[in-house]
Structure 1
Amino acid sequence: MLYIWRLARFFYVARIPFLPWILKVLNRILFSTSVPPSVRVGRNVSFGYQGLGIVVHRHAVLGDNIVIAPNVVIGGRGMPGAPVIQNDVLIGAGACVLGPVTIGRGARIGANAVVLTDVPENATAVGNPARILRRDGDCRA
């Protein structure tokens, strides 16, 4: 999945028409995933189960060393802006990160969480809507 996306991204950056779109459609058919070539993806990003069911906003930014489980939506909310996921983040299965939010470095998003606000660095966010459960260094759970 990522190999096809990287090829589509190459053609997108080179401003070659139609090929990025065709490769995006191929990814959608083969892997049931929608990651447009306009998305900026860092190094060592891992999509669980080859990206099964993952949808990413066309203006989203994904940092380095991110693990994204299946059926995750990183999308908009009908307003300008898209999610920015910083480095070393874990996003659990079925989670939704919606709107112009920033997920801080080292944060963890629980399974099926719906994130509508920023998540600070090294924090864990769970629930619908997501709330900060704990930050590294806190004694409470």
Structure 2
Amino acid sequence: MIVLRIYRLANWCYRHRIPLLPFVLKSFNRIIFAVVLPPSASVGRNVLFSYEGLGTVIHRRAVIGDNAIIGAGVTLGGRSGSEGVPVIGAGAIIGSGAKVIGAVRIGAYASIGANAVVLSDIPDFAVAVGVPAKVVRINRPEELPNYRAFERQ
């Protein structure tokens, strides 16, 4: 995934205080792939951005856990007057067009429906949909579908 490779290089440069290059790489991602993925954001291992992150906007301090799947057009952003930012748990799935706003924690292996607006915490293994998002189901760990089955091995 090209977007994440560029992000990882920008993040490495950012952490090592190399001037200008993180900004140039972030700008390249924004222009070519239409994704705002700042080098200061924390993105875990094996994260998947659908369609190379097309239309996705990530807050500069957001945290995305390992194995998360982020759909196209997702916004993980802050809230005016609040210092908190979204924290996405390991294995969480955020549907296309969803908005996660403010100091919100999405639990491990939780699923957020397409175009949902999440304004409050979502527990582990929960399924949340709607505007504002409401939990409609809590999955058992053995019921989780394998959304990565389509990837090449």
- What TM-score does the superposition give when structure 2 sets the normalisation length? 0.88
- How far has the Cα of 1:77 moved from its partner? 1.0
Q: Which of 27, 30, 38 is 2:29 aligned to?
A: 27
What residue number does 2:111 align with?
Answer: 108
Does 2:120 align with 1:122? no
CA distance in 1, matches of 2:36, 2:115: 19
CA distance in 2, matches of 1:26, 1:136: 39
CA distance in 1, matches of 2:48, 2:114: 16
What residue number does 1:69 align with?
Answer: 71
- What TM-score does the superposition give when structure 1 sets the normalisation length? 0.96
- The code of the aligned residue for 2:70 comes to I
- 5+ residue gaps in structure 2? 141-153
Deviations 1:24-53 (A, max 9, x none): 000000000001000111111000001101
Residues paired across the two proteins, number = 137
Question: Cα RMSD between the aligned structures?
Answer: 0.6
What residue number does 1:89 align with?
Answer: 92
- The code of the aligned residue for 1:133 comes to V
Q: Which runs of 4+ in 1 moved over 2 A?
A: none
- How far has the Cα of 1:136 moved from its partner? 1.5
CA distance in 2, matches of 1:11, 1:98: 28
- How far has the Cα of 1:118 moved from its partner? 0.1
CA distance in 1, matches of 2:37, 2:71: 14
- Matched residue of 2:76: which SS? strand
- 5+ residue gaps in structure 1? none
What residue number does 1:50 align with?
Answer: 52
